[in-house]
Structure 1
Amino acid sequence: MKILITGGNSAKALKLLKAFPNHFVLLADYGDVPGIITENYAFTSLGLLNQDSIAHLLLNFCITESIDSIIPLHDYEVEPLAKSAVLFSEYGIQVLTPQPELIDFFRSAEKNTFKNFAVFIHGECVFASGGEIFIRREDELNGVFGYNSPDDELKLFTV
């Protein structure tokens, strides 16, 4: 499986690598990006940032690069991708974001550096950096969520 993680120049993107040891991860960001390629991951540029057509830009990139799943880490990408998830799925690309109507609930009011993160796919926690076991959540719960302790409310893990 080939996974695209945006915000590839951030420390949060690098932390996510350990959640996908058996997949190839493409760490991408806008503008200049280091040209590093390894067996398990690579860095690449998404070109110039145009927030007005972010979903279109990312869909074209995903199709061109044969991406199977996309994890948006930039806060401004989450809502447009959530609203375009059906279109992405028509091309066989899974968008890991909450449903559009739930995004504001999972947004954090202030920038937070979470101690831990968890990856949910269709409500199932597939990875938790703190080693916690999360019970199955709503099927619509998709994405990467940050938390400091297991009792905290999950918030979007964005940059």
Structure 2
Amino acid sequence: MKILITGGNNAKALKLLKAFPTHFVLLADYGEVPGILTENYAFTSLGALNQDSIAHILLNFCITEAVDCIIPLHQYEVEPLAKAAVLFSEYNIEVLTPPAEAISKYLRAAQSSFKNFAVFIKGECIFASGGEIFIKQEEELNGVFGYNEPSDDLKLFTI
């Protein structure tokens, strides 16, 4: 499986690599990105940033690069991608965000850092950096969520 993680120039994106040890990960960002290619991951550019057409830029990129799954880390990408998730699914590309109508529940009011993160796919936790075992959640829990303690409200892991 090929996974695209946006915000590739940020350290948070690099942290996510350990959640996908058996997949190839593209760490992508807008503008200039170092050209690094390894066996398990690569850095690549998404071109110039145009926030008005984020979903279009990312869909085009995913189709061109044969991406199976996209994890948006830039906060300005989350809502447009959640709204376009059905379109992405028509191309067999999974968008890891909660549904568009639930996004506000998972966004942080202020930028803060998290000690841990967890990756959920349709409510099932596939990785938790703190080693916690999360029981199956509601199906809308889809994406990467940050937390400090397992009892915290989960918030989207964005930059």
TM-score by length of 2: 0.99
The aligned runs of 1:130-141 (5 Å cut-off) are 130-141=130-141
User: Cα offset for 1:57?
Assistant: 0.4
User: Cα offset for 1:139?
Assistant: 1.3
The aligned runs of 1:3-22 (5 Å cut-off) are 3-22=3-22
Quote the residue 2:24 is aligned against.
Answer: 24
Structure 2 residue ranges without an equivalent (≥5): none
User: Cα offset for 1:141?
Assistant: 1.4
Quote the residue 2:89 is aligned against.
Answer: 89
TM-score by length of 1: 0.99
- Give SS of 2:13's match: helix
Quote the residue 1:151 is aligned against.
Answer: 151
How far apart, in 1, do the equivalents of 2:123 and 2:98 lie? 10
How far apart, in 1, do the equivalents of 2:33 and 2:2 lie? 19
**RMSD of aligned alpha carbons:** 0.4
User: Cα offset for 1:98?
Assistant: 0.5
Quote the residue 2:70 is aligned against.
Answer: 70
Q: How many pairs align?
A: 159
How far apart, in 2, do the equivalents of 1:135 and 1:106 lie? 18
- Give SS of 1:26's match: strand
**Structure 2 counterpart of 1:95, one-letter code:** V
How far apart, in 1, do the equivalents of 2:101 and 2:118 lie? 20
Higher mean C-alpha displacement, 98-107 vs 15-24? 98-107
User: Cα offset for 1:140?
Assistant: 2.1
Structure 1 residue ranges without an equivalent (≥5): none
1:48 is aligned to 2:48 = yes
Calculate percent identity across the aligned residue pairs: 79
How far apart, in 2, do the equivalents of 1:153 and 1:83 lie? 23
How far apart, in 2, do the equivalents of 1:62 and 1:140 lie? 23
How far apart, in 2, do the equivalents of 1:101 and 1:140 lie? 10
User: Cα offset for 1:125?
Assistant: 0.3
Higher mean C-alpha displacement, 99-108 vs 55-64? 99-108
User: Cα offset for 1:101?
Assistant: 1.0
What stretches of structure 1 move > 3 A for 4+ residues in a row? none
User: Cα offset for 1:112?
Assistant: 1.1
